[in-house]
């Protein structure tokens, strides 16, 4: 992987901060997969971190009604008041957490929430502790705000998650914040409640900020760990409509901020975004309706069935998945028994067998070339087809046969 972000510009030079912003490998892979599809090749997509289900019909109907009724003007930067109240109700009913709607800020995707959190917390050179592997954009948000992402190697022993002890050991006088995601991307693992409570305490003891990304919290397949909001009112807790509510393209998320940060977050949101999409916010109100929830719950069951199938099938093929992910829609598989370079493995698998997966390099550096991420965001029949193709690819590789490129 070359430093593809070290671009020469012809006019004014790029801002220095851009040297820290790299392309998502998965997007390059997706582009290549689409190009192959355009040539008529059949591709099994297991690279995409986006639910394959449509947005629940009541949400779409609410969007059409809002547009028709003329709900098309700017809303307050903090969000549609009724939506902030609906989110607060959801925390109370689902999680028993009593959150003042005033602390809930609606954002352009959870991505907007991550940017706001980093924007209000980081001064140049401030360090942020995060798991390696973790969601690639996190380190780039930190770099964009001129902070320093400090990845801490996390393996199967801790479910690929940071622990309070790791945070304590990794904390330096320059550390400003720790960032966790539960369930996480790329691993689908959660942080157990007691460990999350210890993390809250460890960060508080050091006078730092804790950012907890709960964007996959609705997609947990076993016992759901508590939201960090049930443990503290001092964390920045992020969630959104993209994953559980299957609304990726509507670009809506939220962040619950500690009270003392409300004013700076509002100022930053006003200036960066003015407001989120008005139509999308009216639509999102319908996401909490019983009809939408029933649809989302059926989808969650389908994801669970896919996870169970794929974990077993990949294990039988020789991938090692030592921790059963309890949420999201990812399997983070150790492929070191099958290849010594997951990046060329993923490329070769795509070119020769039409199966798109994501190499570990997107998510950090710790044993990245020994891992790949599978997203089960496609139907069971396509997952079975993908598994059959990977099986055939590995059999050919074992036999030393040249790759057969399907027509």
Ligand X SMILES: Cc1ncc(COP(=O)(O)O)c(C=O)c1O
Closest CB to ligand X among residues 80, 212:
212
Q: Distance (Å, rounded) from C-alpha 263 to C-alpha 269?
A: 10
Tokens, residue 101: 């709607």
List of residues contacting ligand X (CB under 6 A)? 49, 109-111, 135, 181, 185, 213, 215, 240, 242, 248, 253
Q: Residue 68 CB, nearest distance to ligand X (Å)? A: 26
Residue at shortest CB range from ligand X: 109
Closest CB to ligand X among residues 213, 334:
213
Closest CB to ligand X among residues 276, 370:
276
Supply φ then ψ for residue 61, to 5 degrees.
Answer: -65, -40
Which of 292, 344, 266, 267 has the alpha carbon at shortest distance from 90? 292
Q: Residue 218 CB, nearest distance to ligand X (Å)? A: 12
Q: C-alpha angle 109/110/114, rounded to 5°?
A: 125
Closest CB to ligand X among residues 276, 390:
276
Q: Residue 135 CB, nearest distance to ligand X (Å)? A: 4
Q: Residue 118 CB, nearest distance to ligand X (Å)? A: 12
Which of 206, 200, 209 has the alpha carbon at shortest distance from 182? 200
Q: Residue 259 CB, nearest distance to ligand X (Å)? A: 24
Closest CB to ligand X among residues 111, 277:
111
Q: Residue 251 CB, nearest distance to ligand X (Å)? A: 7
- 29-60 as b/e, with b when 16 or more CB fall inside 10 Å? bbebbeebeeeeeebbbbbbbebbbebbebbe
Closest CB to ligand X among residues 101, 240:
240
Sequence-distant (6+) residues with CB within 8 A of 313 are: 383, 384, 387
Residues, the chain: 407
């Amino acid at each position: 992987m070359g430093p593809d972000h070290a671009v020469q510009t012809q006019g004014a030079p790029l801002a220095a901060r851009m040297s820290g912003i790299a392309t998502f490998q998965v997007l390059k892979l997706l582009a290549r997969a689409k190009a192959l599809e355009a040539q008529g090749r059949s591709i099994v997509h297991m690279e995409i971190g986006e639910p394959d289900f449509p947005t629940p019909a009541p949400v779409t109907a609410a969007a059409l009604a809002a547009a028709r009724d003329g709900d098309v003007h700017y809303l307050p930067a903090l969000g549609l008041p009724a939506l902030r109240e609906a989110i607060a109700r959801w925390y109370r009913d689902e999680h028993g957490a009593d959150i003042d709607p005033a602390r809930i800020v609606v954002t352009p995707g959870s991505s907007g929430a991550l940017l706001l959190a980093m924007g209000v917390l980081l001064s140049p050179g401030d360090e942020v502790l995060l798991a390696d592997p973790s969601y690639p954009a996190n380190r780039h948000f930190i770099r964009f705000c001129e902070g320093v992402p400090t990845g801490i190697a996390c393996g199967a022993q801790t479910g690929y998650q940071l622990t309070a002890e790791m945070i304590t050991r990794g904390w330096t006088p320059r550390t400003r914040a720790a960032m966790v995601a539960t369930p996480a991307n790329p691993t689908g693992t959660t942080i157990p409640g007691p460990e999350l409570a210890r993390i809250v305490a460890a960060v508080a003891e050091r006078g730092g900020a804790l950012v907890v990304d709960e964007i996959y919290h609705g997609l947990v397949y076993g016992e759901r760990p508590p939201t960090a909001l049930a443990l503290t009112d001092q964390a920045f807790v992020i969630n959104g409509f993209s994953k559980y509510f299957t609304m990726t393209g509507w670009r809506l998320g939220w962040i619950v901020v500690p009270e003392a940060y409300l004013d700076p977050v509002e100022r930053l949101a006003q200036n960066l975004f003015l407001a989120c999409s008005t139509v999308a916010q009216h639509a999102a109100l319908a996401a909490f309706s019983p009809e939408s929830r029933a649809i989302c719950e059926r989808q969650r069951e389908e994801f669970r069935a896919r996870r169970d199938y794929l974990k077993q099938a990949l294990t039988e093929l020789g991938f090692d998945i030592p921790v059963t992910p309890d949420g999201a829609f990812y399997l983070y598989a150790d492929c070191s028994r099958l290849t010594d370079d997951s990046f060329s493995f993923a490329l070769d698998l795509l070119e020769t067998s039409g199966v798109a997966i994501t190499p570990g390099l997107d998510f950090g550096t710790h044993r990245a070339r020994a891992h790949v991420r599978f997203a089960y965001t496609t139907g069971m029949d396509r997952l079975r087809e993908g598994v059959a193709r990977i099986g055939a690819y590995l059999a050919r590789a074992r036999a030393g046969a040249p790759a057969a490129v399907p027509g």
